[in-house]
C-alpha cells in the first residue's frame, strides 16, 4: 500500500514484527529483552483479530493507553524495535482509527512524526495526556454511535499504574483489553512500599480502598503478593462482565523468570480463542507456571 515501507524480511512469519531500524534522530528509549516477547504476542493477536473480525464489524479501532514513542532500543543488543503503536499501524486489514495516549511530550511528539512519516494514509490520533485524564478525549475520537464498532485496547504500563476506574469508563464499548500486570516487576519487588498506608497504588489498581483487609487474610494463608494482586484484578474485571485468559508469563529465550503477566479480558469467547492461537504461534513467548 502506498506510504508503507516494504517489510525487510519477506519470509517473516509475522509481518507485524519489525526490528533492526537505523537511528532516525527521534527519541528511542531503552527497553529490556522481555519487551520483545510481549510485542510479538500483541502483533500476532492483532493480526488474528483484524483478519477475522473486519468482515463482521463496520469499524475496528485500536486504543493504546501507554503508547510510548513508537520505537525502543534493546538494552542487551542495541537493536531498535518498533513499539505497540507501530505494530498496530502495520496490522492488516488496517484499523479504522488508532487512538494513542502518551503523557510524555517528547515521546508523543516522536510518535506523531513516526506515524505521519510511515503511515500518512492512516487515521491516527496521538493524545498527549495520561490515559487517566484522557477518557473524554478518547471518546471524542470514537463515532457517535458505537454500533458496529469493536475496539482492542492495549494496556501496557511500566509499573502497576493501571487505574481500574479508567478501564471502567471504556468498558461500556464493545472492547477487549490486552493487559500487562507487572505483578513481579513492580509488585513482588516492592511489597513493603505498596502495602504502606500512605501508598495508594493498589487502591487505584483495584478501585478499592479496602483491599488491604483481603491481603492481610491472604498473607496469613500463605499467599504471595504477586498472585494476590493478579487474582484481585481479574476478579474486579470479571465483575464488569469480562472473561479472562489464563495469565501468561511472558518470557524470552535465556530469561529464567518472567517479570509480568499478559492477560486478555473480553466478553467474547471467540476473542479468548484468538489469544490462545496467538500464544501458540508467537515464537519468543512462553508460558511459565
In this prediction, residue 239 carries a pLDDT of 97
122: cell is 492512516
DSSP bridge pairs for 265: 177, 244
| Superfamily of segment(s) 30-189+241-278 | Vaccinia Virus protein VP39 (3.40.50.150)
In this prediction, residue 179 carries a pLDDT of 95
The closest alpha carbon to 174, from 43, 90, 267, belongs to: 267
Q: Can you point out the beta strands (E) in 75-199?
A: 80-82, 97-101, 124-127, 149-155, 175-181
Q: How confident is the model at residue 37 (pLDDT cuts 50, 70, 90)?
A: confident
For the segment 147-160, what is each residue's pLDDT rounded down to a tens digit?
889 999 999 998 88
In this prediction, residue 22 carries a pLDDT of 86
- Are 30 and 94 a contacting pair, CB within 8 Å? no
The yes-or-no verdict on residue 140 having pLDDT over 60 is yes
Cα separations in angstroms, 197 against 163, 254, 273? 18, 38, 40
- Are 39 and 76 a contacting pair, CB within 8 Å? no
For residue 259, the tally of other CB atoms under 10 A from its CB is: 20
- Are 129 and 101 a contacting pair, CB within 8 Å? yes
- Are 274 and 48 a contacting pair, CB within 8 Å? yes
In this prediction, residue 212 carries a pLDDT of 95
Lowest mean pLDDT among 5-19, 77-91, 101-115, 215-229: 5-19
In this prediction, residue 246 carries a pLDDT of 80
- Are 176 and 153 a contacting pair, CB within 8 Å? yes
The yes-or-no verdict on residue 171 having pLDDT over 60 is yes
Q: Give the domain ranges of the chain.
A: 30-189+241-278
Q: State how far the Cα of 14 lies from the Cα of 41, in Å rounded to an integer.
A: 11
- Are 69 and 29 a contacting pair, CB within 8 Å? yes
The yes-or-no verdict on residue 186 having pLDDT over 80 is no
Q: How confident is the model at residue 281 (pLDDT cuts 50, 70, 90)?
A: confident
- Are 158 and 66 a contacting pair, CB within 8 Å? yes
pTM of this structure:
0.89
Q: Comparing 11 with 71, which gets the higher pLDDT?
A: 71
The closest alpha carbon to 175, from 214, 198, 146, 195, belongs to: 146
Residue 93 preceded by cis peptide, ω within 30: yes
In this prediction, residue 102 carries a pLDDT of 98
**Average of per-residue pLDDT across 111-137:** 97
In this prediction, residue 218 carries a pLDDT of 95
Amino acid at each position: 500500500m502506498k506510504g508503507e515501507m516494504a517489510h525487510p524480511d519477506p519470509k517473516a512469519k509475522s509481518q507485524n514484527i519489525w526490528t533492526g531500524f537505523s537511528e532516525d534522530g527521534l527519541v528511542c528509549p531503552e527497553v529490556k529483552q522481555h519487551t520483545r516477547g510481549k510485542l510479538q504476542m500483541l502483533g500476532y493477536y492483532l493480526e488474528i483479530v483484524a483478519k477475522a473480525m473486519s468482515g463482521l464489524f463496520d469499524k475496528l479501532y485500536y486504543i493504546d493507553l501507554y503508547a510510548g514513542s513508537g520505537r525502543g532500543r534493546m538494552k542487551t543488543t542495541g537493536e531498535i524495535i518498533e513499539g505497540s503503536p507501530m505494530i498496530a499501524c502495520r496490522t492488516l486489514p488496517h484499523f479504522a482509527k488508532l487512538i494513542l495516549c502518551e503523557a510524555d511530550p517528547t515521546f508523543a511528539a516522536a510518535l506523531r512524526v513516526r506515524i505521519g512519516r510511515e503511515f500518512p494514509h492512516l487515521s491516527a490520533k496521538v493524545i498527549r495526556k495520561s490515559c487517566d485524564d484522557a477518557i473524554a478525549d478518547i471518546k471524542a475520537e470514537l463515532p457517535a454511535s458505537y454500533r458496529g464498532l469493536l475496539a482492542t485496547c492495549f494496556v501496557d504500563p511500566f509499573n502497576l499504574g493501571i487505574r481500574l476506574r479508567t478501564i471502567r469508563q471504556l468498558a461500556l464499548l464493545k472492547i477487549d483489553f490486552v493487559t500487562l500486570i507487572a505483578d513481579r516487576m513492580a509488585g513482588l519487588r516492592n511489597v513493603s512500599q505498596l502495602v504502606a498506608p500512605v501508598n495508594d497504588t493498589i487502591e487505584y489498581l483495584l478501585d478499592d480502598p479496602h483491599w488491604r483487609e483481603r491481603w492481610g487474610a491472604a498473607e496469613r494463608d500463605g499467599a504471595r503478593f504477586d498472585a494476590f494482586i493478579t487474582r484481585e484484578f481479574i476478579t474486579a474485571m470479571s465483575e464488569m462482565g469480562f472473561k479472562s485468559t489464563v495469565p501468561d508469563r511472558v518470557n524470552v529465550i535465556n530469561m529464567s523468570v518472567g517479570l509480568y503477566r499478559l492477560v486478555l479480558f473480553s466478553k467474547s469467547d471467540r476473542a479468548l480463542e484468538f489469544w490462545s492461537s496467538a500464544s501458540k504461534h508467537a515464537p519468543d513467548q512462553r508460558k511459565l507456571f
